[in-house]
């Protein structure tokens, strides 16, 4: 008899081979114990009927801003992870621009404690680089890596010259994730466009060259020190083509659903809700990014979930903050693309789970296989539903994709064997665990 406290029956299961098959998945003590047919389990366990549904590994979102502590008027770890539960996101890696900034062991430890108390899904945190916290960057534990804001940040997290960035690449061996925009160029171009209030100006100021300059510098330093580099939210065709020509084996990169699906035309429809960093680019950039993703130049997908209130977004450009929420729409957005034959469901799951677990060396996640953690999402690939503001769980209460009709919405989300989301209901008593990084 298979040891199980929970069994999912009748679903189409995405197997590690990439094939879909009708299988049963048994879960015990937070782990997958068996994947098979006609599994023998005891009678009194929880049964989830997956008829008509597809079972995927839970999404691991490797770039989010959940605002807790310090900016809880925008989002907090409870509301953000309710949104994760609804979006099929079972683990996340969060950025250091919370208050206080996550730049020391003590602050990282505090953040882990807040997450243990509030997070419905599994969590990991970046440590932020400043010009003078090298010992913290080397020692802090546990962390998925070092985040460097080469541009688009202010205050101590802005580490934006080769002179300040190079020592971080030179010392230590843990992963460095870069927000690659050239801050000096941004400052110059802000002067050129001073007085402009059209939000589309944002993409003109922080143009393709702004992103390319910083990506080139990060690549140069990574090669000089053979340092593990991850380039966050790639936004331009030029960066994708550069990496197509020259991407060392120790470098990875990601793209967001919004850089694949929205472009500068979005400003006309949703104004400053389309404002983010790095900014949306042209339709041509989107096409090149898509091809780079399909060709394996881009390794995986992150949302850069970065909520701001509608009041903040209504202040009028350029007084508006950059960023948009994403965790509760990313999986249906990408699965809708799969249904439209832009890619396959197996590719989406690889980009949103398996490849992320590999890149960040998160053990036992990202596959549906015995011994792996029972972080799972059952999605409905036959029904289409719109993105509705009133259903959003994120505290900011809006999405750039409102009104888009999507398929692949999660029906059940499971974190460590616990059902956290079930047909529209969130079990707010569920808590995730701190991720480990090997």
Q: For binding to ligand DOR (CB under 6 A), which residues are involved? A: 65, 97, 152, 179, 276-277, 304, 306, 321-323
Q: Min. distance of Cβ 124 from ligand DOR in angstroms?
A: 17
CB of 28 to ligand DOR, least distance (A): 39
Nearer to ligand DOR, 254 or 380 (CB): 254
Q: Tally Cβ neighbours within 10 Å of residue 225.
A: 17
For ligand DOR, give the closer residue by CB, 13 or 178: 178
Query: Shortest gap between Cβ of 199 and ligand DOR (angstroms)?
Result: 13
What 348-355 contacts at long range (C-beta under 8 Å, 24+ apart), as own/partner pairs, is 349/14, 349/56, 349/57, 350/18, 350/300, 351/293, 351/299, 351/300, 351/301, 352/59, 352/60, 352/61, 352/300, 352/301, 353/56, 353/57, 353/58, 353/59, 353/60, 354/57, 355/299, 355/300
Beta carbon nearer to ligand DOR, 65 or 431 = 65
Nearer to ligand DOR by Cβ, of 206 and 347: the residue is 206
- The catalytically annotated residue of 304, 373, 375, 380 is 304
Cβ of residue 155: shortest distance to ligand DOR, in angstroms?
12
Nearer to ligand DOR, 304 or 380 (CB): 304
93 burial class (0-12, 13-18, 19+ CB within 10 angstroms)?
buried
- As measured in angstroms, the least distance from the Cβ of 164 to ligand DOR is 18
- Closest contact distance (angstroms) between CB of 304 and ligand DOR is 6
Rounded distance, CA 161 to CA 253, Å?
A: 21
Structure tokens at 150: 């080469």
Contacts of 398 (CB under 8 A, 6+ apart): 273, 310, 313, 325, 389, 392
**Neighbour-count burial of 40, counting CB atoms closer than 10 A to its CB (0-12 exposed, 13-18 middle, 19+ buried):** exposed
Question: Which of 178/338 has CB closer to ligand DOR?
Answer: 178
Is-catalytic flag, 304? yes
β-sheet bridge partners, residue 406 = 385
Nearest to ligand DOR of 58, 323 (CB atom):
323
Least Å distance between CB 367 and ligand DOR? 29
- For ligand DOR, the closer of residues 243 and 276 by Cβ is 276
Residue nearest to ligand DOR (CB): 323
d(CA 23, CA 37): 5
Q: Rounded to the nearest whole angstrom, what is the least distance from the CB of residue 2 to ligand DOR in the complex?
A: 45
Nearest in space to 175 (alpha carbons), one of 62, 259, 61: 62
For the bound state, the minimum distance from the C-beta of residue 179 to ligand DOR, rounded and expressed in Å, comes to 5
Q: Which tokens belong to 403?
A: 């009104």
Let me know: does 285 contact 234? Beta carbons within 8 Å. no
Among residues 124 and 278, whose Cβ is nearest to ligand DOR?
278
Q: Catalytic amino acids? A: 304
């Amino acid at each position: 008899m298979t040891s199980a406290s929970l069994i999912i029956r009748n679903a189409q299961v995405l197997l590690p081979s990439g094939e879909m098959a009708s299988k049963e998945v048994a879960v015990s003590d937070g782990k997958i114990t068996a994947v098979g047919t006609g599994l023998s389990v005891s009678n009194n366990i929880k049964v989830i009927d997956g008829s008509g549904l597809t079972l995927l590994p839970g999404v691991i979102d490797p770039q989010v801003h959940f605002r807790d502590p310090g900016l809880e008027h925008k989002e907090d770890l409870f509301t953000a992870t309710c949104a994760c539960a609804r979006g099929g996101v079972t683990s996340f890696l969060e950025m250091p621009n919370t208050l206080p900034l996550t730049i020391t062991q003590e602050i990282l430890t505090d953040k882990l404690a807040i997450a243990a108390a509030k997070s419905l899904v599994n969590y990991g945190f970046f440590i932020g680089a400043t010009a003078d916290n090298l010992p913290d960057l080397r020692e802090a534990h546990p962390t998925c890596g070092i985040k460097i804001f080469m541009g688009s940040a202010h205050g101590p997290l802005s580490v934006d010259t080769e002179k300040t960035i190079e020592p971080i690449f030179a010392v230590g061996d843990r992963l460095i994730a870069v927000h690659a925009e050239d801050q000096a160029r941004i400052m110059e171009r802000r002067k050129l466009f001073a007085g402009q209030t059209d939000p589309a100006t944002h993409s003109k100021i922080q143009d393709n060259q702004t992103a390319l300059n910083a990506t080139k510098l990060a690549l140069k330093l990574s090669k000089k020190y053979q340092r593990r580099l991850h380039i966050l939210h790639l936004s331009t065709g030029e960066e994708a083509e550069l990496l197509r020509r020259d991407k060392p084996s120790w470098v990875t990169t990601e793209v967001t659903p919004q850089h694949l699906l929205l472009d500068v035309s979005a400003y006309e429809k949703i104004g400053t809700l389309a404002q983010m960093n790095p900014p949306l680019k042209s339709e041509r950039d989107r096409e090149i990014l898509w091809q780079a993703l399909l060709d394996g130049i881009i390794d995986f997908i992150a949302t850069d979930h970065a909520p701001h209130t509608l009041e903040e977004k209504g202040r009028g450009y350029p007084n508006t903050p950059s960023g948009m929420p994403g965790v509760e729409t990313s999986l249906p957005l990408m699965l809708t693309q799969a249904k439209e034959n832009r890619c396959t469901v197996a590719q989406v799951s690889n980009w949103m789970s398996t490849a992320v677990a590999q890149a960040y060396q998160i053990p036992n996640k990202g596959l549906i296989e015995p011994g792996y953690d029972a972080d799972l999402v059952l999605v409905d690939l036959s029904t289409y539903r719109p993105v509705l503001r009133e259903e959003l769980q994120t505290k900011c209460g809006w999405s750039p994709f409102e009104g888009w009709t999507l398929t692949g919405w999660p029906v059940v989300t499971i974190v460590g064997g616990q059902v956290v989301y079930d047909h529209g209901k969130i079990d707010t008593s569920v808590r995730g665990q701190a991720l480990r990084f090997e």
